[in-house]
Structure 1
Amino acid sequence: SWALNHTAPLTYLAQVLEYNAQAEPRQKILGFQFDIEPYLVRELWNTPEGFAQLKAGFLDLLKKLRAARDEADPGFEIGVAIPRWYDQEQYEFLNRDIQAATDYVAVMNYWNEAQRLIRDGTGELEAGDQLGKKVYIGVEVQQIDPPTITFYGFTVEQMEAVLTQVHTEFAKHPSYAGLVIHHYAAYIDMPAEQ
């Protein structure tokens, strides 16, 4: 897991920052979003000691990424994709620490109902409001199980009806930066209407 072995993410960031240092302004990469999922290391995540180790390693990585970015290009944005449930007490409200250490988070808030999307995205938005950090809300459109966590099988029109409700509610938050769709290849294959 990159939460414990920082070599790869630090190398990727260094390569992008090195490219940017030589690139023309219009060719520069504006930011980098990391998708680091330490909870997939279940044998550690599911024990108090292992969770503490993964959390400390992840937050240390974010500190190193910021330091490298700040030295090379303070305007370069660093974001992290996080699951919707990091804002729960049992995970020590990990979202807050991650949000404090990054420029933005993209919440993997995979539901296909407005009520659930709003319910499970609000904690990160409230934290973003308090911290002055941007929050993107992500939805899934690929064919995955269970069907309640994806817009697969919906038309674009049906999905947009749900997302309009979500956008209207979330636009009340200063931290709300918009909706993101995972992922483009599946999205362009969605039927426009029935």
Structure 2
Amino acid sequence: MAGAALLALALLAGDASARTEPSAPRAVWTWEGPSYAMLESREAAGEALAFLQREKINIVYLYADAFEGRNLVEQKPQLYRDFIRAAHARDIRVYALLGSWYLHTERYVLPRHQAEAKAMLQRVLDYNAAAEPVERFDGVNYDIEPHLLDEWDDATRLRLLRGFLDMSAMLMEAKRESGQHLPVGPAMPFWWDGIELDWHGARKPVAEHVIDLTDYVALMDYRNRAEGGDGILAHAEDEMAYAGKTGKRVVIGLEFNPGEPAKLSFHGMEPADFEREAAKVEAAYRGQSAFAGFVFHHYLGYRDFVGEPPSGK
């Protein structure tokens, strides 16, 4: 009897473990400094990829633009080839992350700067065209946030959001012209579903225009509770419904860095608390084709959150 009881307990424990195993894809935004460190140091790359694998993070949004006067994707593409090849060997996909506080890329929504936005993506497309299949980016995520502009206010926001849509249309056209099929999509605030806008003869929420234009969206759904009127599920409801109707996909973006108010981030909570809330989101979206998993903001913040900061930090 004792042996049977132990076996039953073991099976129950196994079932509990299976229930907590993440089933939806997990990605992480990785910004300028950490990305360049991974590219330029095999040790940093190996440590990062091992960490991502342990944490079941199977997509890394790797910064792929200029930083501190250098642009490695253009000047030293072999560094990206080596990293992407190593990531693919661990079944980790790599998206090119475009947009930068350092470069003030929020300006790219302005007509006079949109050529810079196209050049930013074109460098990635040119890199992919020259690389072997195993060395190519698997997708692109661009983080261009017009609300960061000093001129953003109630009087200008519709004009700036139209600039974002114009810029996005230009980026998607550049992808089509390249003949490449990698998914391209933006980071998008959840509150854009509450702003209606006329664009190209259609009046609808900005979020719907963006979903129409792009292959997917990474929704910046920065809350630390799944349920309730101010929770993750409530803020993603409209985007998920529209993406489901239009055959598009939504990645739920979550925050792990310090911030105010506290509800914006999982910072200060326990990993078990996060996993409980993530499981609620997964359960709510199970079977919905629009749900493409989670993306975490950002690599260093998430490593601190789970108590494994990179060595040398």
Superposition TM-score, scaled by structure 2 size: 0.58
2:192 to 86, 91, 94: 86
2:214 to 102, 119, 122: 102
3-state secondary structure, aligned to 2:269? coil
2:148 to 40, 60, 65: 40
- Answer yes or no: is 1:112 the counterpart of 2:245: no
Aligned-pair Cα RMSD in Å: 1.6
3-state secondary structure, aligned to 1:6? helix
- Answer yes or no: is 1:181 the counterpart of 2:293: no
Report the Cα offset of residue 74 of structure 1: 3.5
Q: 2:178 is matched with which residue?
A: 72
Moved more, 115-124 or 85-94: 85-94
CA distance in structure 2 between the partners assigned to 1:147 and 1:90 by the alignment: 29
Which residues of 2 match residues 1-194 of structure 1 at below 5 A? 1-4=107-110, 5-41=113-149, 43-47=151-155, 50-89=156-195, 93-115=205-227, 116-191=231-306
Q: Report if aligned partners of 1:126, 1:173 keep a CA contact under 8 Å in 2.
A: no
Q: Report if aligned partners of 2:259, 2:265 keep a CA contact under 8 Å in 1.
A: yes
> Over residues 154-191 of structure 1, what are the superposed CA-to-partner deviations in whole Å (9 max), with x where a residue is unaligned?
12111101110011112343211011111121112224
Structure 1 gaps, min length 5: none
CA distance in structure 2 between the partners assigned to 1:89 and 1:11 by the alignment: 29
CA distance in structure 2 between the partners assigned to 1:172 and 1:126 by the alignment: 13
Report the Cα offset of residue 43 of structure 1: 3.1
Structure 2 gaps, min length 5: 1-106, 198-203, 308-313
Moved more, 141-150 or 81-90: 81-90
> Over residues 67-123 of structure 1, what are the superposed CA-to-partner deviations in whole Å (9 max), with x where a residue is unaligned?
110111331211100111111145651000001110000110000111111110111
Report the Cα offset of residue 44 of structure 1: 4.1
3-state secondary structure, aligned to 1:43? coil
**Percent identical across equivalent pairs?**
31
Report the Cα offset of residue 42 of structure 1: 5.3
Q: Report if aligned partners of 2:168, 2:214 keep a CA contact under 8 Å in 1.
A: yes
> Over residues 120-152 of structure 1, what are the superposed CA-to-partner deviations in whole Å (9 max), with x where a residue is unaligned?
011110110111111000110011111111000
> Over residues 10-40 of structure 1, what are the superposed CA-to-partner deviations in whole Å (9 max), with x where a residue is unaligned?
1111101111111000001122111111122
Distance 1:127 1:55, change over 3 A: same
Q: In the alignment, residue 105 of structure 1 is paired with which amino acid?
A: V
